[in-house]
Structure 1
Amino acid sequence: MKKLIIALIAIIVLIFAYNQYKEYQRFHPDNFNYKSSENIDLEYYNQDVVYSYFEAVQALNGFANMQWNVNEINVKSPEDDDESTTFVVNEYRKKLAKVKYYEAKLEASKQLKDEGLTNDLIKLKLEGNNTKPDSNAIFKSKIKSMYAANPKVRLGEKSAFIYEVQKLLVKKGFDLELDGVYHTITRNAIIEFEKKRNLFPDGNLDVLTLDALLD
């Protein structure tokens, strides 16, 4: 009988400890806090938005933790529906909406930058300016982004960027095969182009040569 009682007590203690652990896990900051998105543009053209986003996340988490620790209200899954709980939950939702508002802006900007747009073009697009972004300006922005990702072009290298450079050279009157390979013929065409534009004729693609090609 004594062994049975001890076994029952042990089971009760284990159940209690498990429930306490689950409760701890449920409201531990690593599990309970809202986590900021990893897919946002930290170099957003308006840095006030970036600051406001992280400030809003901190305010949201601080509010949620305070309500649990002080008032024992779970703002995510409230157990009661009394007036005070409803008010707290609505306040949490307002703060969450603010976070989502900033987050949507920064995620949209990140996606546009992944597509090659610059901060200036993103500002024009996201602020709802009636002036439609110039497709040529968008194209130039994408080419410059491709260059920035790999500014050192080597002889024999093949890439989409070199293919676009060859297209630009053809538009300037050079007879080239569009194969995306940085052959000697492509390098020589760049040298001739640099001579015509009074640039240093080394056949290397630099910012000045690229700007002249995009002109």
Structure 2
Amino acid sequence: MHRIDCLQYCNWSEKIFRQMREGGVDAVHVTIAYHEMFREMVANVEQWNGWFERHSNLIFAGRTGDDVRQARSEGRTAIFFGFQNPSPIEDDIGLVEICHMLGARFMQLTYNNQSLLATGCYESEDTGITRMGRAVIAEMNRVGLVIDMSHSAERSTLDAIEVSSRPIAITHANPSFWHPARRNKSDDVLKALGESGGKVGFSLYPPDLQDGTHCTLDSFCEMNGPPAALMGVSHIA
């Protein structure tokens, strides 16, 4: 079994890279864009390239599933780039492929609010995937950029599952039956996600947790049962 952190954002440093190795973490999905536009995102890639060079004994750039297995065998951590917002592609579908070439492997279609592609979970009205969103999904499918709907609203998420020709991901959210946070997911979404071959990664972010920072390990573990029965264990990360 591989140890994969499905989404992480922090003040990266050698200390953290060493802590990941001490914890046996084989791969991490790293946020390199929240609201950055394309050029700002490239600056973040440049920074990571420096870390890859200086700490090559600890981390390296991940691109495929084989890199997770390589990381395990070499005692290093594979770093997979992801966007929590589609802002790096701006309004240019051609940038989807460029971002993939630069190492991006995950992109959320929204970050809480309405984007050019879909509706975020904090909007009062969910109009679903937009016309541009459908075109971007097709391009993401073509180049191999995973669609992530962690911060998206219900209809938009269900639309993405239906429109995408490849399984999508919800990399960091929890079931809404357990805690009704705005971006936690309904049984309908989880069921559709599992039936389509997608995966969900459960979140330890306090606002997503029952009882917030006072959430117990027992409660979090018990939460896994119903989604496992609904989706199948292989669809939970």
Same fold (TM over 0.5): no
TM-score using structure 2 length: 0.21
The structure where helix makes up a greater share of residues is: 1
The structure where strand makes up a greater share of residues is: 2
TM-score using structure 1 length: 0.23
